Chain A
Amino acid sequence: MDKRPLSQLQRSWLLGEIKVWQAQGLVRAEQAEDILGLYEMPNESAARQQSWGLFALRAVAALFVGLAVFLVIGYNWTELPTAIKLIILFGALLSVHGAAFYLRYRRAARLASELTFFFGCLLYGASIWLIAQIFHLNAHYPDGFWVWALGVLPFALALDTLLLHALLIAILAIWVGTEILDPSPFAFARWFFGLLGWPGLPNGAYTLPLLAVPGLLWSYRKGSPLTAGLYVALLTWWTVLQPFAWDWKTNPIFFIVSLGGLLMVLSEIHRSGSPFAIPYRFCGVLLTLGTLIPLSSRDYYHLWPDLSYYGGIDKNGRFLGPGIIQPLAILAVSMLVVGGTLFVILRRREGEARLTRPVRAFVSRQWLPLGLVLLMTLSSLWVALARESLLPMILANLAMLASAFWLIQVGTREERGRPFATGVLYFLLWAVLRYFDLFGGFGGMLGGAFLFFLCGVTLFVVSLYWRQRKQRRIAL
């Protein structure tokens, strides 16, 4: 069995603990040696860290060389005949991949081979654009990114590091953005579904899940939450863009907040303590907290007063944009996600006959995300039917406060500093924003002084509370 990685700091802590255990007679000397034998020795750990450091440096170097190649190719040398350009192009691609093969299977230099394959995949992308240049190809340019991603996918799945996945995700993110926000009847994706008999379907870049899910599964199997996080972010980006693809004719902000809540709900499909839940929670919190900020501000609703596409309020104070599709979409996606998550939770219960207990535990943990989804459904429905924006704005402010409270609650319940600090900071951000919205105009310097005094007192009280909790924990 391979030795488990251990940093210098963790090793010092473990050595200290083992000494205490030995002194208390909990473990014998040979058992202590066996425990230490499970982990890397300091020299092995240093070598591993140096190896990864070098790998990262070389990856950046390959990226820069790749960018240089892009620019040289982009210069489009008119003096160079087409045939010579093509020979250089195919020759370079084959040589780089050939070198990568040689390094991997003849020299057993796996990391060096991954870097070389990465460089080869960059060259492949450059080649797509060079051939388009050579032949003055006037095509729908996002198709170039799609074809590039398709060519990188086998490498990402067959190799062992994050590098090719990062490249694949970056290309796919650009493709999805350009494909959906710059639609064209020439688009390959539209043509692809046109073949299947759905020519009227809007171009939602539907091949994205097919290209992204294999990589997501790869990251689970390889035990890489970081890679999983990148794929979760990519799939979130794709989902956020769907209202634009389907041309909702209304502001999809309620849908985006709901999506954040649903990502937090989706993290529950993992077992307690799984590091794979973190990317879902992180993306969900980021999306929710970020989107609630504009939604809670009066200025936001006045930003695009005459564009029904963006919603907004017209000159008579009426909310523009029909948008009944939005609450329906939120409901449909929520039912799918919450239903799927509950199914997984219930299937996982071990030896527990009652169904209500895990469901109750799930609801008590996720009351905020579930509440947010419900709130956003009602807000978007209200906007669609009553065409009024004051109530959604007030509800968004309440949601901000509830989010701050929920994060503080999670932090205290699980003894984690980050959610706790995020909750406190989010509350302070809310206070500052509302001060400038409501009192900034007439509060003046004294009003500002009062606000900052209030923030200082809040932080002081919070720090005292956190210290008391720590002391109680130590005493126990």
Chain B
Amino acid sequence: MTDAQPIQTSPVPRPFADQLVSAVKGWEKGVLLAGISLQLVVLLGMTAWRSYALERGDVYYVRVQPVDPRDLFRGDYVILSYAFSRLPTELWGDPQAQPGRTIYVELVPEGDGKHWHAGRFGFRPPPHGPYLRGKIVGSGRIEYGIESFFVQEGKGRRYEEAARRGQLTAEIAVTPDGQAVLRNLHVN
């Protein structure tokens, strides 16, 4: 541990170090309170951001595609993939389709009255209708922030099997600007 006496063989940055530590120690209580506030702001921000989407977003059901079973269940969460997780072939080679680029996909209702699937993809938000906002992450893959579902330890097996049989549906909440949050998973 430390807290030893200051040593006289002073290094070069001491004057600034002195100022910095004196300033921090002079406001010790304030700095500690600011630290606690910062921690709370971060945690509340994370909570509020997702809670808003969950509470205010419209709910849609989308089909989950089977993923390589070796990768599907890893530890305590299930990896999910959707039909709209792949970049459509017409956009391959498009100079705009670079990793990190935001991409929008329209949601179109299916005939069963419950599920929705992907419509047109584009680099601008569609003028009307529900849509998802995602990011290209390389290898022609798009992520929407709804690709992980955390489960209690040992409870992921039934989702894995349902996804393999193509019987898994994701319930997502989507805000008007296309931000999606995963609400739940349903086995059909």
Q: Are B1 and A162 in contact (CB under 8 A)?
A: yes
Complex contacts, B4 vs chain A, CB 8 Å? 5, 222-224
Please tell me which one of the listed residues A76, A139, A269 contacts residue B145 in the complex, with CB atoms under 8 A apart.
A139
How near does chain A come to B129, taking the closest CB pair, in angstroms?
24
Complex contacts, A157 vs chain B, CB 8 Å? 20-21, 24, 31
A226 and B38 in contact (CB under 8 A), knowing A76-B152, A185-B99, A220-B14?
no
The stretch that binds B, out of A128-136, A304-312, A316-324, is A128-136
CA distance A147 to B76 in the complex (A): 22
Complex contacts, A121 vs chain B, CB 8 Å? 39
Complex contacts, A226 vs chain B, CB 8 Å? 2
Q: Is A302 an interface residue (CB 8 A)?
A: no
Please tell me which one of the listed residues A90, A185, A270 contacts residue B43 in the complex, with CB atoms under 8 A apart.
A90
CA distance A158 to B28 in the complex (A): 6
Q: Are B47 and A78 in contact (CB under 8 A)?
A: no
Count of interface residues, chain A, beta-carbon cutoff 8 Å = 73
Q: Is A119 an interface residue (CB 8 A)?
A: no
Q: Are B20 and A138 in contact (CB under 8 A)?
A: no
Complex contacts, B138 vs chain A, CB 8 Å? 185
Count of interface residues, chain B, beta-carbon cutoff 8 Å = 59
Q: Is B6 an interface residue (CB 8 A)?
A: yes
How near does chain B come to A147, taking the closest CB pair, in angstroms?
5
CA distance A190 to B1 in the complex (A): 36
Please tell me which one of the listed residues B6, B20, B46, B51 contacts residue A214 in the complex, with CB atoms under 8 A apart.
B20
A221 and B181 in contact (CB under 8 A), knowing A133-B150, A136-B150, A154-B38?
no
Chain A interface helix/strand/loop/mixed: helix
Q: Is B119 an interface residue (CB 8 A)?
A: no
Q: CB-defined interface of B135-165 with A at 8 Å, one 1/0 digit per residue?
A: 1111000010111111111010000000000
Q: Which of A74, A158, A162 has the most CB of B within 10 A?
A: A158
Please tell me which one of the listed residues A76, A133, A158, A227 contacts residue B2 in the complex, with CB atoms under 8 A apart.
A227
Q: CB-defined interface of A209-226 with B at 8 Å, one 1/0 digit per residue?
A: 000001001111111111
Complex contacts, B149 vs chain A, CB 8 Å? 136
Q: Is A472 an interface residue (CB 8 A)?
A: no
Q: Is A465 an interface residue (CB 8 A)?
A: no
Q: Are B13 and A132 in contact (CB under 8 A)?
A: no
Complex contacts, A56 vs chain B, CB 8 Å? 1
Q: Is B36 an interface residue (CB 8 A)?
A: yes
Q: Are B153 and A222 in contact (CB under 8 A)?
A: no
For window 343-399 of A, CB contacts with B under 8 Å fall at: 344
Q: Which of B1, B6, B31, B155 has the most CB of A within 10 A?
A: B1
How near does chain A come to B157, taking the closest CB pair, in angstroms?
14
A271 and B46 in contact (CB under 8 A), knowing A136-B146, A158-B31, A158-B35?
no
Please tell me which one of the listed residues B12, B20, B32 contacts residue A154 in the complex, with CB atoms under 8 A apart.
B32
Besides A134-B150, A157-B31, A214-B20, 6 more A-B contacts (Cβ < 8 Å) are: A5-B5, A78-B151, A138-B143, A147-B42, A185-B138, A218-B17
List 12 contacting pairs A-B, 8 Å CB cutoff, sorted by A.
Answer: A52-B1, A132-B150, A136-B149, A137-B46, A138-B148, A150-B42, A199-B100, A217-B20, A221-B21, A223-B4, A226-B2, A274-B11
